[in-house]
Amino acid sequence: MTYSMKMRSAVCIAAMVAGGAAQADVTAQQVWDDWKEQMSLYQQTEIEVGSEEMSGDTLVVSNLSVTSTSPEVTSNYSIKELRFEEKRNGSVVITMSESYPITFTPESDVVVTVETTQSGLELVVSGDPDAMNYDVKADSIAIALKDVVDGDVTFDGTASIVLNDMSGTYTTAETETHDISYDLDIASTDILVDVQVPGGKDEYFTGGGKIEGINMAATIAMPIDANFENPEELFANGFAMEGGYTLDAASYIFDVNADGEQFAGSVSMGDTDLKGQFNSSVVSYDANANDVALNITGSEVPFPIELTFAKYGIGFEAPLGKSDQPEDFRLSFDFIDVAINEMIWGMIDPGNVLPHDPATIQFALAGTAQPMIDMMDPAQQATIKGDNLPFELNTLSLENLKIALAGALVTGAGDFTFDPTDTQTFAPMPRPEGEVAIKVNGLNQLIDNLIAMGLVPEEQVMGPRMMMGMFARTTGDDQLETTLEVNGEGHVLVNGQRVK
């Protein structure tokens, strides 16, 4: 909740400092009132203004102070001056103090103060009072640590984030909800940290990073009189959000000395994306990163650790709202071409018995199910007991299974449908019908290699090999395949042989 309030406060400021083409008619007072209305959505946000004065075509707001309070932390930012200048084309150009402080006070009473500084801001607001369009352009926006005060101890250091060459839009509209959308492009972001621990024995944290080509976009519907203490009420009243970000590349370095231990390293990645959706009907999340590399060295690490993978990805989607028809769901993850350096392999496989090829693990499951209740309703959640499932399964597909590791390869795929009229054969779930096929290559060679390495006693693999012979058929040299089928009569067959 605190994060949402602080982000919303920052977005409102960014909205006020926005510029763009104007094809409508708004006044300085309307823009300022819109900003105050956005801020007053939160009951725990307090706005104080030293003065508001109209001078010709310009509204001058002096000594603005915004405080957001939650049980965990209190934040405040203060802007000395905001100027809203009305233009003949119906737009409003806004300027503001080049810098302003932000303080954070958590429950521990430690006070953290940062300074925000803008350069080359270009600000305009257009539209009409019920639907305002905010644009923002800036050469740079920087947030830097000023100091940290803990009782009678004050320490500072270098810690900053600089957003370079920013441009984008932010819109607000009043319908049945407060509707917000934004789309921002940032050419690059620079991160720098160099902090010495007060009273520590040469303890420090240093690091830096650069992110290239960021785009952030989202749409948000916020209920009128939103109550963030009651999330279920939020969704029932129409809260919804959808959005995410993409970036072209990112790289980071770090060096830490703490508690007598030192370690350093770097992380880099190529194009990366994250997107999500959350409302009363569905939740989804997808994140992907390509060309990831991690390198770590340290005083307690006997050799460098190097880890790379071509792609990392995770995704899921699930229906949340009661429906009279089946809805989609899915779950997937990808770890593609994961590789470790030879020094680590030397510990795992000193005799160089195993193939050291990159490993891959991929899994993708999808299907349809009919939600029988509203999952965001606490009263309906309480009805989920025993065999009273909150959904009715309709279809299920293993779209992809791939495990490539140490010379062995497992692949699989399959599809099932489910009969909701028969919940006795495979109680409490509906009766499935379909098949899945699993193929395994190189498993016997992998077992032989593990025996040669002394990791698995030979007498312990006799049983598993007999089981493989019973439930898998040989299709080639060290190639096995198993097909699991459930027919329309509810019989379970493995490779054509009935087992149930």
**pLDDT over 90 percentage in the chain:** 63
Taking a C-beta distance cutoff of 8 angstroms, is the pair 180, 219 a contact? yes
Q: Is the pLDDT of residue 228 over 80?
A: no
Per-residue model confidence (pLDDT) at position 23: 44
Q: Is the pLDDT of residue 208 over 70?
A: yes
Residues above pLDDT 70, as percent of the chain:
93
Going by C-alpha positions, the residue among 304, 299, 298, 274 that lies closest to residue 288 is 274
Contact residues for 24 (Cβ-Cβ < 8 A; gap 6+): 90, 126, 127, 128, 133
Interatomic CA distance for residues 80 and 84, integer angstroms? 14
List all residues 6 or more positions away from 485 whose beta carbon is below 8 Å from its beta carbon: 434, 435, 492, 493, 494, 496
Residue with the larger pLDDT of the pair 231 and 75? 75
Conformational region of residue 165, where left means phi above 0, alpha means psi within -120 to 50, and beta covers everything else? left
Q: What is the pLDDT of residue 53?
A: 95
Give the chain's largest Cα–Cα span.
Answer: 93
Average pLDDT over residues 237-256: 95
Query: What backbone torsions phi and psi does residue 468 show, to the nearest 5 degrees?
Result: -60, -35
Residue 272's alpha-carbon distances to 126, 249, 269, 459, 476, in angstroms, are: 33, 7, 8, 47, 40
What is the pLDDT, as a whole number, of residue 3?
A: 35
Partner residues linked to 207 by β-bridges: 193, 254
Question: Within 10 A of 475 (CB to CB), how many other CB atoms are there?
Answer: 11
Query: Residue 440: in which H helix or E strand, if any?
Result: strand 431-441
Q: Where are the domains of the chain?
A: 1-174, 314-500
User: 321 falls in which pLDDT band (50, 70, 90)?
Assistant: very high
Give CA–CA dist 467/448, Å, rounded: 16
Give the pLDDT confidence score for residue 11 in this predicted structure.
42
Per-residue model confidence (pLDDT) at position 276: 98
Q: Do the Cβ atoms of 277 and 250 come closer than 8 Å?
A: no
The region that residue 231 occupies, defined by phi over 0 for left and psi between -120 and 50 for alpha, beta otherwise, is: alpha
pLDDT for the residue numbered 34: 85
Element spanning 5, H or E = helix 2-16
Token output for 303: 């050799």
Mean pLDDT of the chain: 89
What DSSP string runs through 108-136?
Answer: T--EEEEEEEEES-EEEEEEETTEEEEEE
Predicted local confidence at residue 224, as pLDDT = 80
Ramachandran area for residue 46 (φ above 0: left; ψ -120 to 50: alpha; else beta): beta
Q: Is the pLDDT of residue 380 over 50?
A: yes
Task: Note the pLDDT tens digit of each residue in 177-194.
Answer: 889 999 999 999 999 999
Alpha-carbon gap, residue 396 to 416, rounded angstroms? 5
Residue 243 has pLDDT above 70, yes or no: yes
For residues 191-213, give the mean pLDDT. Answer: 89
Structure tokens at 423: 């919940």
Q: Which residues pair with 358 in a beta bridge?
A: none
Residue 364: which pLDDT band, with cuts at 50, 70 and 90?
very high
